[in-house]
């Protein structure tokens, strides 16, 4: 049996992990596992884990590691992960990374590569804080990369454009602070294991995708030798 292609996407919020995950899913037929989507699915289905997670979310707290780990373990046991998976948003810290490593070892599986999509903080703030959305239909714009014809007015329905609260610069800077404190240490964790592959996230999305595909092709070739 061919080795599974098990990938982790690492990088700050706004680096483009979701975009690349969708393309890789299409390329290789891998299961795409997003922490956010996994949480929402469990809450919607009212699973035991989802009910417990919702209690923390409703109280304004973070969902504990043990609940995220249990959800991930259950998700990785599903049939569509048989040929491999892409993890986006997990692991989020060293404790989760160590638990995932232990879980996979027990199952005779392992991570193929951790792909770091590297983007400087200043660019992340520019990308996220520049987003605008119309209040009527939710059409998306960007003040730098995809501006409306008229400032703060939707081209399609003429409604007012707003900046979501989560996209405000001070909120983005706080998210980056959390990333550097909790998630950035994963870079050293996977680098020490020879699994880290760096990708320049400042390139256009298509170029980032091409670079990642080339990295994966090299990994698969090395595995076949």
User: In the numeric block, which tokens belong to residue 83?
Assistant: 């040929």
SS3 call for 11 = coil
Strands 131-134 and 140-142: antiparallel
Give catalytic residue positions: 17, 92, 131, 164, 175
Per-residue buried b or exposed e for 11-41, using 16+ beta carbons within 10 Å of the residue's own CB = bbbbbbbbebbebbeeeeebbbbbbeebbee
SS3 call for 70 = helix
Burial of 213: CB neighbours in 10 Å, binned 0-12, 13-18, 19+ = middle
């Amino acid at each position: 049996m061919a080795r599974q292609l098990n990938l982790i996407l690492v990088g700050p919020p706004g680096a483009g992990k979701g975009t690349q995950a969708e393309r890789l899913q299409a390329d290789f037929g891998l299961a795409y596992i997003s922490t956010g989507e996994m949480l929402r699915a469990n809450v919607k289905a009212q699973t035991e884990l989802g009910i417990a997670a919702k209690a923390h979310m409703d109280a304004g707290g973070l969902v504990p590691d043990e609940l995220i780990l249990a959800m991930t373990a259950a998700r990785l046991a599903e049939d569509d992960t048989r040929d491999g998976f892409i993890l986006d948003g997990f692991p989020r810290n060293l404790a989760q990374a160590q638990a995932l490593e232990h879980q996979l070892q027990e199952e005779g599986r392992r991570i193929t590569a951790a792909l770091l999509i590297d983007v400087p903080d200043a660019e992340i703030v520019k990308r996220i804080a520049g987003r605008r959305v119309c209040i009527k239909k939710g059409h998306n714009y960007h003040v730098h990369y995809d501006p409306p014809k008229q400032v703060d007015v939707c081209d399609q329905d003429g409604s007012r454009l707003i900046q979501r609260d989560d996209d405000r610069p001070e909120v983005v800077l706080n998210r980056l602070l959390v990333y550097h404190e909790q998630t950035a240490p994963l870079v050293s964790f996977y680098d020490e294991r020879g699994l880290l592959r760096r990708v320049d996230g400042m390139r256009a999305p298509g170029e980032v995708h091409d670079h990642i595909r080339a990295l994966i092709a090299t990994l698969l070739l090395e595995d076949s030798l």
